[in-house]
């Protein structure tokens, strides 16, 4: 489905293709309610509590499926945090139905409490940003993990991408404003043409922060990007705090203030999508 303003910060129609996740979710929950209604109409077959645990299991399954098409960071085994919680809901719900049907209601209640405890335990902090190596325009090796101790704004782009070109000047202005801070911007170009084209691009736009070349697309794959540009906010400890899809005006005062706050306190005041 093409939404006119699918990319946050992109003020003109983009035509970016994204999955209509809310539509998928509403359809799945409609099917879930059909199942629950059929269960309620057969009380002789389903004991008290079975419907609740069935809803728990099916809603966990729905969350797992819908999260697979959302653009969210993966924390373990290529699954998002919400998917792991969804799997936990499926397991506890299924066990709960089994115990209720076997008249083990006390154990079923314990299972519900266990779900709440484990759901809290599954909530993790920000994931570690994937490490990578790439070449600078001067032919030197750059490694992301070597930048620990600095807040890094990692941009993945191509020179032929109009939105990438659109945001680069504001990104350079941001770099100038934070030049005296423990902060750096690094942009990885995934062009097939290589360093000469990227160098010309940087000179034309007067970009002075590091431009790297990585024609294989390995960096974008490791960050599971869906298009260009995408930008990642990485803290001093190498944790990925935010993923911004599409171009932004990077030197907006509010955003600059929030980045300064992150640099000085370690606290990211925005969400994982870069929104306030």
Q: Check residue 261 and give its pLDDT.
A: 95
Q: How many CB atoms lie within 10 A of CB 97?
A: 23
Q: Check residue 200 and give its pLDDT.
A: 95
For residues 118 and 241, state if they share a domain: no
Contacts of 271 (CB under 8 A, 6+ apart): 242
Can you tell me the mean pLDDT for 11-38? 72
Which residue is associated with the tokens 């099917």?
31
Going by their DSSP bridges, the two strands 183-189 and 211-213 should be labelled as: parallel
Distance in angstroms (rounded) separating the CA atoms of residues 33 and 170: 49
Element holding 2 (H helix, E strand): strand 2-3
pLDDT per position as a tens digit, 220-268:
989 988 889 999 999 999 999 999 988 999 999 999 999 999 999 999 9
Locate the DSSP E strands across 90-215.
Answer: 133-136, 141-143, 151-157, 183-189, 211-213
Domain boundary among 103, 122, 141: 122
pLDDT per position as a tens digit, 131-189:
999 999 998 999 999 999 999 999 999 999 999 999 999 999 999 999 999 999 999 99
- This prediction's pTM: 0.63
Q: How many CB atoms lie within 10 A of CB 112?
A: 15
Cα separation values, 56 from 33, 100, 151, 189, Å: 12, 14, 40, 44
Number of domains present in the structure of the chain: 2
Domain of 218 in residue numbering reads as 133-265
Considering only 27-36, 178-187, 193-202, 240-249, which range has the smallest mean pLDDT?
27-36
Here the CATH number for the domain that contains residue 243 is 3.40.30.10
Q: Which residues pair with 189 in a beta bridge?
A: 157, 213
> Is residue 270 in a domain?
no
> Is residue 274 in a domain?
no
Residues of the chain with pLDDT > 90: what percent? 43
For residues 104 and 195, state if they share a domain: no
For residues 201 and 164, state if they share a domain: yes
For residues 65 and 99, state if they share a domain: yes
Q: Quickly state the pLDDT bin for 52 (edges 50, 70, 90).
A: confident
Sign of CA dihedral 47, 48, 52, 57: negative
For residues 236 and 158, state if they share a domain: yes
Considering only 116-120, 169-173, 201-205, which range has the smallest mean pLDDT?
116-120
Distance in angstroms (rounded) separating the CA atoms of residues 27 and 161: 35
> Is residue 272 in a domain?
no
């Amino acid at each position: 489905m093409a939404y006119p303003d699918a990319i946050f910060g992109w003020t003109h129609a983009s035509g970016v293709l994204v999955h209509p996740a809310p539509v998928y979710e509403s359809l799945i929950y409609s099917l879930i309610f059909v199942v629950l209604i059929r269960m309620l109409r057969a009380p002789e077959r389903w004991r008290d509590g079975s419907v609740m645990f069935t809803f728990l299991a099916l809603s966990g399954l729905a969350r797992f499926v819908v999260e697979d098409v959302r653009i969210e960071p993966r924390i373990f085994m290529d699954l998002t945090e919400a998917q792991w919680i969804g799997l936990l809901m499926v397991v506890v719900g299924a066990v709960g139905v089994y115990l209720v049907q076997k008249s083990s209601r006390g154990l079923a209640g314990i299972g519900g409490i266990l779900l709440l405890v484990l759901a809290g335990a599954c909530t993790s902090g920000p994931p570690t940003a994937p490490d990578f190596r790439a070449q600078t325009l001067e032919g030197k090796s750059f490694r992301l993990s070597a930048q620990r101790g600095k807040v890094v704004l990692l941009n993945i782009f191509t020179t032929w991408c109009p939105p990438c070109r659109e945001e680069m000047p504001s990104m350079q202005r941001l770099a100038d404003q934070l030049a005296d801070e423990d902060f750096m911007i690094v942009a990885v170009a995934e062009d097939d043409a290589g360093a000469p084209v990227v160098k010309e691009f940087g000179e034309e736009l007067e970009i002075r922060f590091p431009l790297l070349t990585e024609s294989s697309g390995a960096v974008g794959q490791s960050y599971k990007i869906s298009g260009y540009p995408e930008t990642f906010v990485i803290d001093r400890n190498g944790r990925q705090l935010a993923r911004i899809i599409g171009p932004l005006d990077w030197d907006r005062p509010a955003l600059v203030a929030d980045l300064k706050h992150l640099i000085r306190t370690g606290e990211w005041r925005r969400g994982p999508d870069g929104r306030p």
